[in-house]
Amino acid sequence: MRPVLTAALVLGLLAPLVPLALWSVGRGWFYPALLPDFTLAPWEQVLSARSGVPAALAASAGIAAAAVALALVLGVPAGRALGLTRIRGRALIELALLAPALVPGLAVALGLHGIFLRLGLTGTAAGVVLAHLVPVLPYVVLVMAGVFAGFDPRLEDQARSLGASPLQVALHVTLPAIWPGLLAAAFFGFLVSWSQYILTLSIGSGRVVTLPLLLYAQASAGRSDLAGAVAMIGLLPGLAAMLVLHRGLTGRAPGAA
């Protein structure tokens, strides 16, 4: 029964990707044909340097990685404080952290655009990274708060009493204990940053071109073949991050016994 449910779940998750995969290798797909006229022309076009896809892929990966790194630097201490400290108004703090996810993205983008315009950060990759912190940081803080809620700080006290330095405590006691949660927080943060469209378009002012911007541009132009190819490329970093997360949590590759 379990293999059947697993297979059904996998098929359900992959089913929406089938039309994208077919469009990415199709010259045209018209009724009543069940399959498109197959061609590799869309892939040849999107993989060429002139398409801008390789540069946008690198920009998306760099921005997402930078946003996650900053979110971890800020979110791990904040998550530790929330997870280990019993403070009044904890629910209000968590609600405030979730506010960017509850407010419509367009409203957040318009508000940030006015601020970043005064700071001279619009149209820059640094501005886009800082803007991505708004939706990424809440995920990192809340995940790490849950991780530290189950962490026993007395382990750190014991290590210090045995002569361990603060760096040794962090590397050999704290980090191994929170490592799975740290990976999960980085994974979710990366995916949130990777998929940002409105914030990137608003703060980047069209000068910072990422993969979601190219995807929307091709879809709006009616180029379903190119949009399908770009969408399939956009899945790769998420799948790679998922494999890294799986290896970090289980210690083995997916499918290994």
User: pLDDT tens digits, residue range 36-68?
Assistant: 778 888 888 888 888 888 999 999 999 999 999
Q: Find the angle CA(234)-CA(191)-CA(242) to the nearest 5 degrees.
A: 85
User: pLDDT tens digits, residue range 99-109?
Assistant: 777 777 788 88
Task: State how far the Cα of 198 lies from the Cα of 8, in Å rounded to an integer.
Answer: 34
Range in 13-17, 184-188, 208-212 with the lowest mean pLDDT: 13-17
Structural domains of the chain sorted by starting position, each given as residue range(s) with its CATH number in brackets: 54-210 (1.10.3720.10)
Q: Is 105 exposed, middle or buried (0-12, 13-18, 19+ CB in 10 A)?
A: middle
pTM of the model: 0.84
Query: Contact 207/185 with Cβ under 8 angstroms?
Result: no
Query: Contact 72/186 with Cβ under 8 angstroms?
Result: yes
pLDDT, position 182:
92
